[in-house]
A and B are shown apart, each in its own frame.
Chain A
Amino acid sequence: MKNSGQSRIKSIGWGFGLCDMNCPKCYSHAGSGRRAPCYAIEELQAVADKICDAGVTDINYGTGEFIMNPNVVDLLRYIHDRYPAVKQAVTTNGATLKLIDKALLRHFHDVDISVDFADPETHNRSRGHPLAWKWIIEGLKILEDLGMEKSIVTCVTGTHTDKDLLELLEFCELHDATGRYNFFRETGAQKDLPGLVVSAKRHWEIIRLLVKEGVVFESLSDPLLAAIFGKANEYGLKGCPCGQVSCRIQKDMEVTPCVYLGGPLWSAGNIQKVSLASVYETDPFRRIRERYPKECRECKYGDVCRGGCASRAYLSGGDLNLRDVYCPFLAGPEVMEIVEEIRELGIKTGTGTEKVHDGYLCTIMHRRNS
């Protein structure tokens, strides 16, 4: 594969695959009892050298539970010692926090804890594990004792009611944590569960709920929201960060521009065999970077939004040249009315965060301080 020029990739999500939970909504088909390739520490170190030497500044370990995968703790230590400027973070269900050596836990710049619901029973059910909630609470206690930076991430689905979301806001506040929302994407890996997809109307109702609750949006790296609320220039990006400044190393070491877009169609090659610069120039990465749906070219937000989140567009209709399904102009006047109401209420934004997830994928980070 040709290696022409430099990669602009700064953030990498690295997934290993093995997990101790059984979430039916999992986008990657991870889960207890499922298999994932295992790598020797030398193999992981070689990949770390390759990506860190190519200018990557942030790495987040997600997809599967970090600690359940062999040699990853040594990888954490290796990157920390050899590349101290590289920020490492983890998205965990709490198990890693409980099991890892506390001194090593400090090697993470920040920690993202996955909480689906603030109600223990509902969370356990959603995770398919009876101890899921217990690990959350214990994990948060560990982070609080260590005084570490943290966020609470929720995969928001169509089953979340306003009450659930308000409880989650309270939970974040109680633990002095940033809240982070990823809206559920139907990647095809999930079990056939109805009602998980969040409609455009519901998505904007949720944003309105957050605004009414007075949250400050610490980060809006979702291009659609950033464009509509005039925050796009913070990242100096046009469109989705995926494939531009961030990418994903999947559990089989295949590199894809976006966490939600997997499989041969989106693979830019195996990172063990190719360089990050050559990955950056591959067709899947180029297609995402050059994406600009026709309908968006006349839109006043089009130049910075560029059709919004690529995965939401692609997964909705199998075509990158479709608009983000949450685009209010696509969704219709009823949704536009909600957007206008949000604008009238006034959206409060912060100045961005130092967290690894900030600007790494289409996500929103918020904080409510009563």
Chain B
Amino acid sequence: MRGRLIAFEGVDASGKTTLAKSVCQTIESTVCVKGQGNKETVVGRFARRHPSTFVFLFELLVMYLTFVRSALKNGKTIIHDRYYYSIMAFPTALRWYNQLFFKLFQIVLPKPDLVVYTFADTDEIIRRLKALSGDNRFHEMLINDPWILDYEREIFMKMLSNAKRVMFFDTTKRSVKQLTEAVIVAIKDLK
């Protein structure tokens, strides 16, 4: 039986990575994939040095072709921390060539069976971003220009309107444990 592809999406600091990790640790037979700027792959490291929509999309395609596809064929559950929604939610993705590549890549990249979308209000996101340690230029940009968060949310909503199944979680309302349980129930329902 073909495995399931679960994408965790949301703006930065919305709680998707925390939730994705928790789900990975709880259920067996899963493959956890960091879907953007993955340090463990050559193309991921390249993408971190040269961040752009096209490069991130290419990274996603390479990961799919090299191991995600075969893992799915072997019945594994793939937990993708960020999928193409995150990449296409950024303002530069609107450029015509990025849209064209996205359309082409979508021919190969499968639609996730479930998208888990995490969110929190802007003040909370900013608070979390400020609390995160490290020198992240993109986080700095979001703190200084929070309108980008609104923009991203709008694009996410538009794209998710065509997703197979989406779960929406306000990560300020429930604990990670509760959210993990809800996601696991949904994944089991898919089978």
Chain A interface residues (CB < 8 Å from chain B): 295, 298-302, 329-330, 332-334, 336-337, 340
- Taken together as a complex, chains A and B put the C-alpha atoms of A155 and B163 apart, in Å, by 34
Q: Which partner residue on chain B sits nearest A328 by CB separation?
A: B157
Least CB distance from A10 to B in Å reads 31
Which of the listed residues B160, B167, B168, B169 has the most CB atoms from chain A within 10 Å of its own CB? B168
B162 at the binding interface (Cβ < 8 Å): yes
**Least Cβ–Cβ distance between B161 and chain A, in angstroms:** 4
Instruction: Give every chain A residue within 8 A of B162 (Cβ-Cβ).
Output: 298-300
Residue of B nearest to A337 (CB): B168
A332 CB contacts on chain B under 8 angstroms: 153, 157
Sample of 25 A–B contacts (CB below 8 Å)? A295-B158, A298-B158, A299-B161, A300-B161, A300-B163, A301-B161, A329-B157, A329-B158, A329-B160, A329-B161, A330-B157, A332-B153, A333-B117, A333-B119, A333-B153, A333-B156, A333-B170, A334-B119, A334-B168, A336-B157, A336-B166, A336-B168, A337-B168, A340-B166, A340-B168
Q: Which residues of A contact B160 (CB under 8 A)?
A: 329, 336
Q: How far is the CA of A300 from the CA of B115 in the complex (A)?
A: 15
Considering the complex, give the chain B residue whose CB is closest to the CB of A300: B162
B118, chain A: closest CB distance, angstroms: 9
Q: Which residue of A lies closest to B10 (CB)?
A: A333
A334 near B170 (CB under 8 angstroms)?
yes
Q: How far is the CA of A330 from the CA of B159 in the complex (A)?
A: 11
For residue B31, give the distance in angstroms from its CB to the closest CB of chain A: 26
Closest B residue to A335 by beta carbon equals B168
User: What count of chain B residues pass the 8 Å CB interface test?
Assistant: 16
CB-CB < 8 A to B161: which residues of A? 298-302, 329
- Quick one: CB contact mask for B159-191 with A, threshold 8 Å, 1 for yes? 111110011111000000000000000000000
Would A337 and B169 count as touching, CB distance under 8 A?
Answer: yes
Interface of A is mostly: helix
Question: Separation in Å of the A228 CB from the closest CB of chain B?
Answer: 11
Distance in angstroms between the alpha carbons of A337 and B179 in the assembled complex: 13
- Bound state CA distance, A295 and B160, in angstroms? 12
B-side residues, CB < 8 A to A, are 117, 119, 153, 156-163, 166-170
Given A298-B161, A333-B117, 7 other A-B contacts at CB below 8 A? A298-B159, A301-B161, A302-B161, A330-B157, A333-B156, A336-B160, A340-B167
How many angstroms from the CA of A301 to the CA of B158 in the assembled complex? 12
Could you say which residues of chain B place their CB within 8 Å of the CB of A295? Answer: 158
Q: Which residues of chain A are within 8 angstroms of B163 by Cβ–Cβ distance? A: 300
CA distance A329 to B53 in the complex (A): 24
Residues from chain B with a CB closer than 8 A to the CB of A340 are: 166-168
Bound Cα distance from A298 to B167, whole angstroms? 19
Which of B161, B167, B169, B170 gathers the greatest number of chain A CB atoms within 10 Å?
B161
Give every chain B residue within 8 A of A300 (Cβ-Cβ).
161-163
In the complex the two chains form, is B168's CB within 8 Å of A333's CB? yes
Considering the chains assembled together, what is the distance between the CA atoms of A191 and B167 in angstroms?
Answer: 41
Q: How far is the CB of B176 from chain A (nearest CB, A)?
A: 17
A297 to chain B, nearest CB (A): 10
Judging by beta carbons under 8 Å apart, are A333 and B167 in contact? no
Cα–Cα distance between A300 and B158 once the two chains are bound (Å)? 11
- Measured in the bound complex, the distance between the Cα atoms of B44 and A263 in whole Å is 59
Task: Report the bound CA distance from A300 to B160 in whole Å.
Answer: 9
- Inside 8 A of A337's CB, which chain B residues have their CB? 168-170
User: Which residues of B sit under 8 angstroms from A298, Cβ to Cβ?
Assistant: 158-159, 161-162
In the bound assembly, the distance between CA atoms of A337 and B167 in angstroms comes to 7
Distance, CA A301 to CA B117, complexed state (A): 19
- Tell me the complex Cα distance, A337–B159, Å: 16
CA distance A299 to B119 in the complex (A): 21
Determine the chain A residues whose CB is within 8 A of the CB of B157 once the complex forms: 329-330, 332-333, 336
Query: Closest CB-CB distance, B13 to chain A, in whole Å?
Result: 14
B15 to chain A, nearest CB (A): 12
Among A301, A333, A334: residue with most chain B CB under 10 A: A333
With a cutoff of 8 Å between Cβ atoms, the chain B residues found around residue A336 in the complex are 117, 157, 160, 166, 168
